Amino acid sequence: MKKIITAAFCLAVLLSPEAFSQQKKATTKNNTATFDSAKWRRDNYIVNRDSAYMNPYYAVQKLQGGNKRFQEGRSIHPRQDPALIKLLSEGQKPFATIVGCSDSRVSGEILFDQGFGDLFVARTAGQVMAEASYATIEYAYLILKTKLVVVLGHTNCGAVDAALKNTQNPPGHIVTLINAIKPAAREAKKHKDNVLQRAVELNVMNQVYELRELESVLSKGYYEGDLLIVGAVYDLATGKVVFLEDSLNKLPKTKYAKDNIAGK
């Protein structure tokens, strides 16, 4: 099984002609392999962009590859040159929707080392969602045909911490955030250790389930196996994104080639 997974990953890597012109400048700095060679693509965990757009399981691998580069301090900053920006003015095909926290340290394009036109992003504190967020995610799926949604929490999230502290009479509209995160906070408090980290993960999972059950667009896409909705947590200290196994297990049957993405 491992061989199949590796082979599939390598195939996705090797079928990656796009975007290299944008990466040329960055890669010539640390070239141990010829730019755009198969070895360079493997070394930099490149997954074909078109494959990622067509298949949400490859989209997960593309995000994981980008996050590895970021962690290792080898970001290639793809798809950020003026020619591509001009081309993108005609349209966009983001391969993933990121539902993340507004925290200034959790910028999706940077931590996944992606470029313009790659990610469709909705951010609020604690990635709490309401109608406008739902519509944003539905738009990405229905109109832009983006088949992967990642709910991205992070360590030491201030919004989750506020919910744990059960802050009384918060000013303005902040109570909205606290109330939405309270179920995860209550569950996490049943444990004695790592309460904040548990609350962060539980909050992400609650939000994953919330989107999977959201009538009528997202639930239909998810249960038909056309739309993948998963959860992940970004570690502020290490730069690593961990995809939550609970969100990768027991997925509905899908029409896409499916690698085992757990644990990568």
- The residue type of 141 is Y
- Footprint (CB under 5 A) of Zn ion, residues 96-125: 101, 103
- Say if CB 176 and CB 195 are below 8 A apart: no
Q: Which is nearer to Zn ion, 103 or 201 (CB)?
A: 103
- Say if CB 252 and CB 228 are below 8 A apart: no
| Total number of residues that touch Zn ion (CB under 5 A) | 3
- Rounded to a whole number of angstroms, the minimum distance from the CB of residue 101 to Zn ion is 3
Q: Which is nearer to Zn ion, 101 or 248 (CB)?
A: 101
- Rounded to a whole number of angstroms, the minimum distance from the CB of residue 159 to Zn ion is 5
d(CA 231, CA 169): 30
Position 201 contacts Zn ion (CB under 5 A): no
d(CA 3, CA 12): 14
33 phi/psi in degrees, rounded to 5: -130, 155
Q: Which is nearer to Zn ion, 52 or 241 (CB)?
A: 241
248 - beta bridge partners?
Answer: none
Q: Which is nearer to Zn ion, 22 or 67 (CB)?
A: 67
Dihedral sign (CA 166, 193, 204, 213): negative
Q: Which is nearer to Zn ion, 61 or 203 (CB)?
A: 203
Residue pointed to by tokens 């494959």:
51
d(CA 166, CA 95): 37
Q: CB neighbours of 258 closer than 8 A, spacing ≥ 6?
A: 57, 251
Binding mask 131-160 for Zn ion (x = CB under 5 A): --------------------------x---
Q: Which is nearer to Zn ion, 164 or 227 (CB)?
A: 164
- Footprint (CB under 5 A) of Zn ion, residues 155-174: 157
Nearest to 206 by CA among 228, 180, 226, 224: 180
Q: Which is nearer to Zn ion, 103 or 113 (CB)?
A: 103
- Rounded to a whole number of angstroms, the minimum distance from the CB of residue 68 to Zn ion is 23
- Rounded to a whole number of angstroms, the minimum distance from the CB of residue 221 to Zn ion is 27
- Rounded to a whole number of angstroms, the minimum distance from the CB of residue 156 to Zn ion is 8
- Rounded to a whole number of angstroms, the minimum distance from the CB of residue 160 to Zn ion is 7
- Rounded to a whole number of angstroms, the minimum distance from the CB of residue 122 to Zn ion is 14
d(CA 204, CA 160): 10
List of residues contacting Zn ion (CB under 5 A): 101, 103, 157
